[in-house]
């Protein structure tokens, strides 16, 4: 019986320690036997909850050493209800199976409940949509968020529905595709023309002085986090009309995944994302040089023009490479078309 099946039904798993288990820590051996359905941290939590018994006696220590022939019983509890309540929020679903769900997130949708956004989030929507198909991440019926998009950034996201998928996808995103199969590409409409058609921004990120935004900081600072963004200029707009404000459509690929990374990095090289309220304020007056109706459309654009267009990853169960793309949302597409017509 798989751990995922057990956790969904609240049943009992019984295992016998073989000769190779002698002297091995209980949590280590169980995590190895029950992988990939249960992580070691999940096993440790079950032990702490008193759900693991050896020879009928509850074991309270994860470091307990096993002996050959030990009979280990695990009482898998029913997954607890998720704290956030499900809400009937429409979702643009690109793919779904028993392990995961891929959605095209609209701009304006917060991913996870938090201060000021306890309802109306993607998590609330997924709890309502997935229902009993959530087998329990860490023993709770909740979707496993393995990466995030800013509230006003649109595009492709994958969310885990099982512990196995959560563990596999979390590892892939932590590695950011450096040694695995993860691939992510974002489209950004930025002010001006980058000096090179392709480039790499290698600049550490940390807290801004206002402690809300992020900023490029010296690598030796305590809060500095290594950050690398690769960019390719896809199109340039306004190059033939010198009197107009220039802009570029740029593809960005992440080698690391820091908060606001693309937005901060593009602003750092002098080409902030159009409409960015946090990192592009100094460029707001550039829209005054645009002809109507583009000038009014740019001024009225309510968010950063950033879209997660491509996401590819290895499926945690089938091990096949899954690849998903989402075209520019209508508002950003109309803005790009307006610049094309300069």
| Residues involved in catalysis | 150
Q: Are 144 and 161 in contact (CB under 8 A)?
A: yes
Q: Are 302 and 313 in contact (CB under 8 A)?
A: no
- What span, in angstroms and rounded, lies between the C-alpha atoms of 219 and 221? 6
Q: Which residue has the tokens 């945690």?
A: 316
- The pair of structure tokens assigned to 186 is 């974002």
65 CB-near residues (< 8 Å, 6+ apart): 23, 24, 25, 26
Q: Are 184 and 230 in contact (CB under 8 A)?
A: no
Q: Are 186 and 155 in contact (CB under 8 A)?
A: yes
- What span, in angstroms and rounded, lies between the C-alpha atoms of 138 and 170? 13
CA distances (Å), 209 to each of 206, 256, 263, 275, 281, in order? 10, 22, 17, 22, 16
251 CB-near residues (< 8 Å, 6+ apart): 185, 186, 187, 188, 231, 232, 234, 309
- The pair of structure tokens assigned to 70 is 């030990």
- What span, in angstroms and rounded, lies between the C-alpha atoms of 111 and 130? 16
- Determine whether 205 is exposed, middle or buried from the number of CB atoms within 10 Å of its CB (0-12, 13-18, 19+): buried
Q: Are 309 and 300 in contact (CB under 8 A)?
A: no
């Amino acid at each position: 019986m798989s751990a995922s099946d057990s956790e969904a039904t609240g049943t009992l798993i019984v295992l016998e320690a073989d000769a190779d288990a002698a002297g091995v820590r209980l949590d280590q051996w169980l995590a190895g036997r029950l992988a990939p359905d249960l992580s070691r941290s999940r096993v440790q939590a079950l032990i702490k909850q008193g759900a693991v018994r050896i020879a009928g006696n509850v074991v309270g220590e994860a470091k307990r050493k096993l002996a050959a022939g030990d009979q280990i019983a695990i009482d898998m509890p029913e997954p607890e209800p998720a704290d956030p309540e499900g809400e009937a929020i429409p979702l643009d679903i690109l793919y779904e199976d028993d392990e995961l769900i891929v959605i095209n997130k609209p701009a304006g949708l917060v991913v996870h409940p938090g201060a000021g956004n306890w309802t109306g989030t993607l998590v609330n929507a997924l709890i309502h949509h997935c229902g009993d198909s959530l087998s329990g991440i860490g023993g709770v019926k909740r979707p496993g968020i393995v990466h995030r998009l800013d509230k006003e950034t649109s595009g492709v996201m994958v969310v885990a529905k099982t512990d196995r998928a959560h563990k596999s996808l979390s590892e892939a995103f932590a590695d950011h595709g450096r040694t695995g199969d993860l691939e992510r590409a974002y489209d950004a409409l930025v002010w001006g023309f980058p000096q090179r058609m392709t480039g790499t921004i290698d600049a550490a990120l940390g807290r801004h002085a206002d402690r809300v935004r992020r900023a490029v900081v010296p690598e030796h600072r305590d809060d500095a986090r290594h950050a690398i963004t690769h960019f390719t200029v896809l199109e340039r707009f306004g190059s033939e009309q010198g009197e107009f404000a220039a802009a570029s459509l740029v593809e960005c690929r992440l080698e690391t995944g820091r908060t606001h990374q693309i937005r901060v990095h593009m602003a750092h090289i002098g080409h902030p994302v159009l409409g960015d309220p946090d990192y592009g304020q100094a460029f707001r007056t550039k829209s005054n040089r645009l002809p109507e109706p583009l000038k009014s459309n740019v001024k009225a654009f309510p968010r950063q023009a950033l879209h997660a267009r491509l996401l590819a990853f290895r499926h945690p169960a089938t091990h096949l490479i899954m690849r998903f793309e989402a075209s520019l949302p209508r508002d950003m597409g109309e803005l790009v078309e307006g610049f094309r017509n300069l």
